[in-house]
Chains A and B, each alone.
Chain A
Amino acid sequence: MKTLNDLTQGQSARISCYMPRFAAARRLMELGLMPGTTVRFVKAAPLGDPIALEVDGRHLSLRRVDAAQITVQAI
């Protein structure tokens, strides 16, 4: 099962679902990371963490530990 954390630079994927009991799920959804949304992995920060994603033409940054809680389907 692939998560947002496993994407490589430039890769796009569609969000499938959140890991159960991931407390921040709601917050991330409110920011546009809804299941079904397509995201693009823009880049990782110079020190490797956090990562930057493009969602609906916006750039969002989140930590790898949170990104690993969101499963995706590569497209």
Chain B
Amino acid sequence: MADEKIPSEGGMVRIALLGNPNTGKSTLFNCLTGLRQKVGNYPGVTVQRKVGRMVYGKNIAEIIDLPGTYSLAADSPDERVVVDALLGEMETVERPDLVLFIADATNLQRNLFLAYQTAQLGIPMVVAVNHWDSARKRNIRIDMKALGQALGVPVVPISAARAEGITELKEVVAGALVSKPHMVEAEWPKSVEAALEAARSALPESVQPKATRAVLHRSVFDEDRSFFVRQGASSEEAGNAIEAGRQKLFKGGLNPGNAETVLLYRQIKERIAPCIELDTTRTGSGSESIDSILTHKVWGLLAFLGLMYVVFQSVYSWAGPFMDLIDAGKGLVQDQVGSFLTQWPMLQSLATDGIVEGVGAVVIFLPQILILFFFITLLEDTGYMARAAFLMDKLFSWCGLSGKSFVPLLSSYACAIPGVMATRTIQDPKARVITILLAPFMSCSARLPVYVLMIGAFIEPRYGAAVAGASLFAMHFVGLLVAMPFVYVANKYILKIPPQPFVLEMPSYQVPKVRDVLMRMYTQGKEFVKNAGTVIFAITIVIWALLYFPRSEELAEQVRLEYVANAAAEKGMTTAEVEALLEADEESAAALERKIDSAYIEQSYLGRIGKTVQPVFAWAGFDWKITVGVIASFPAREVIISTLGIIYSLGGDVDEESGDLRDVMANQKWQEGERAGQPIFTIPVVSAIMVFFALCQQCGATVAIISQETSWKYGVFSFVFMTTLAWVAAVLVYQLGSLL
């Protein structure tokens, strides 16, 4: 992950945008910053960081969009980031000069809980009350003036979705940067004050001056040692100090586990309730009547399945033409570039098979990613995503996942890369990691050519179309069925993180903003190209080099002499006549060319590696040619088709429907060993190849994206684990299949 250094040129003011999830934070962020925004991750954690610039008058301020959170009590990495950023405890992220707090007018009391917690941190604040219009529609009346007085900071009603109140908000923010208004802090009973003092005095003397009220609050209430530890206390000293504070709370008749929550809520009620007039006659909202269908026992499930079908059919079929176009464009560029460089074969190969191929391998994923994120943003912004998680949770909870895993996993059937990126909607870090590791087991569309080739060439001719169809269907579930037990075990015995409660707020249904949807597609696409793209590109070049080198003229000459001698013997011609034929007949020349390419592959570094590794794959019935194909297709599974084409001297332009390739493969026989003369591609071997490809992490792009979204350790783990599993399964299939 590139750690973009967010520029903080001399004196640029920093504003942190803070609020609960689903309050319209992203929409407000987009309103304030437009296209002047950057996406990255916080250093060291995979929490997304959005930073943008707001122009007001002649000035520019930097706005950091903090993750949506309900509380400063940090349980998840998202919440950790919020607290650390606000306390100025995060390296490279400076403490903000102002907090722009966004609250939902339809749920003000709960939203302001977080504002009251933030008030303790002593940062100037402005409160924007969003969804002003829908609150009015629901007959919720808020006295803004009284609210402003109660909170002690400016309060601005806005409707971010309609861009109403944004100009006023900017003005108020500009004013607040000068006047620095602080929100009225909650009043704490004596026992809390005593507890904070007890904790402070129990700290080592060197740490005491740094233990501000804000830090003491968070440490004692959240039982969080990290603040004191960062200031130089040992973990034990920090623990003792916190324990001293909590003991005092307990003696004062407070439950340390929820004292802050209870006390704050009580004060919010007292202070805020007089400013709000609720219409209590209201029975059920518009959202509830939509939900009577969309979360209905029968209609809800049907609607869900229908919707998912539409989404993934669209990802699959809409992306198709674009991907074909990119592929065609790639071919065109390869021809053009190739024709310039015919004088320098190595440069030609590097440019066409290395660089252009590598760029193509990155760009080809873009249509799928953009279309999928179009739908994900739509599902999230309408409020349906929470309903989908509600419907599906039961199916996943038994093995430690939640309903939120459904969309990423289903989307991985098109391609694991957007699927892994889609797991960002999962907040529980454990569930997110498991879902990411599970994603490549879904049978993505790149495995399809392998299945089609093998089933079409060997299963269909022998067992008929019905069995062929059934095998193709079965191949799509092998990964899921094999992986599920591992998920269960991993969750139960390896990732022993205490389970978080599944609490989901179901937001009101809303019409999404086109601008937000486009913005999300743009930023996700850009991020993919920049981060995963570089790795995919690099891997493609490395594999190209391994396949290209070493390349000696003598080998080509040797193959040529053999070819001429063989042709002469076959056709009863003199070698001179064959040479003349080669000059005149393009087809013969091309056949010789393919023989030379095939010979080059055999003695390339990759060919040698294939031959060295082959004994390991012999257990699964693979010969060295299949093994080279397996290794060469590390950057992308579908490469196996063209690699086999080159190895079998058919050229790289074959596809899975190619009759030539099927015939040649069917005629391959073992040259030596005990099975000499027997066909290589038997049903057990074909099944082993398919199972291997179904389970193997044979996709550099997925490894790259997993490493980027989690850490490189998970990327390596995924690769090693899946490859080992694939090998074991392939060996089992082959050995058991051979017994039958």
Contact = CB atoms under 8 A, between A and B. Distances in A.
B506 A61 contact: yes
Interface residues of A, number: 30
Interface string A31-65: 11011000000110111111010001111111100
Contacts of B167: none
A26 interface: yes
Contacts of A46: 295-298, 300-301, 391
A60 B258 CA distance: 20
A57 B110 contact: no
Nearest to B265: A34
B502 A62 contact: yes
Contact of B502 (A25, A57, A66): A66
A45 B390 contact: yes
A29 interface: yes
A30 B73 contact: yes
Contacts of B394: 45, 47-50
Contacts of A58: 107, 110, 505-506
Interface stretch (B53-61, B155-163, B280-288, B602-610): B280-288
A19 interface: no
Interface string B549-587: 000000000000000000000000000000000000000
B397 interface: yes
B501 A24 contact: yes
B624 interface: no
Given A29-B265, A57-B107, A63-B397, A45 B258 contact: no
A34 B394 CA distance: 26
Interface in B37-87: 70-71, 73, 75
Q: How large is the interface on B (under 10, 10 to 19, 20 to 34, 35 or more residues)?
A: 35 or more
Contacts of B261: 26, 29-30, 34
A50 B393 contact: yes
Nearest to A48: B394
A45 B391 contact: yes
Interface in A11-26: 23-26
Contacts of B390: 45, 50, 52, 61
Nearest to A44: B297
A66 B501 contact: yes
B391 A60 contact: no
A57 B297 contact: no
Given A28-B501, A61-B390, 20 more contacts: A24-B500, A27-B70, A27-B501, A28-B503, A29-B258, A30-B70, A30-B110, A31-B110, A31-B505, A35-B262, A45-B390, A46-B295, A56-B110, A57-B278, A57-B282, A59-B287, A60-B503, A66-B501, A66-B502, A66-B503
Interface of B: 70-71, 73, 75, 106-107, 109-110, 113, 138, 257-258, 261-262, 265, 278, 282, 285, 287-288, 291, 295-298, 300-301, 386, 390-391, 393-395, 397, 498, 500-506
20 contacts: A26-B73, A26-B258, A26-B261, A27-B70, A29-B265, A46-B296, A46-B297, A46-B301, A49-B393, A49-B397, A50-B394, A52-B506, A57-B138, A57-B282, A57-B285, A58-B107, A59-B291, A61-B505, A63-B393, A63-B397
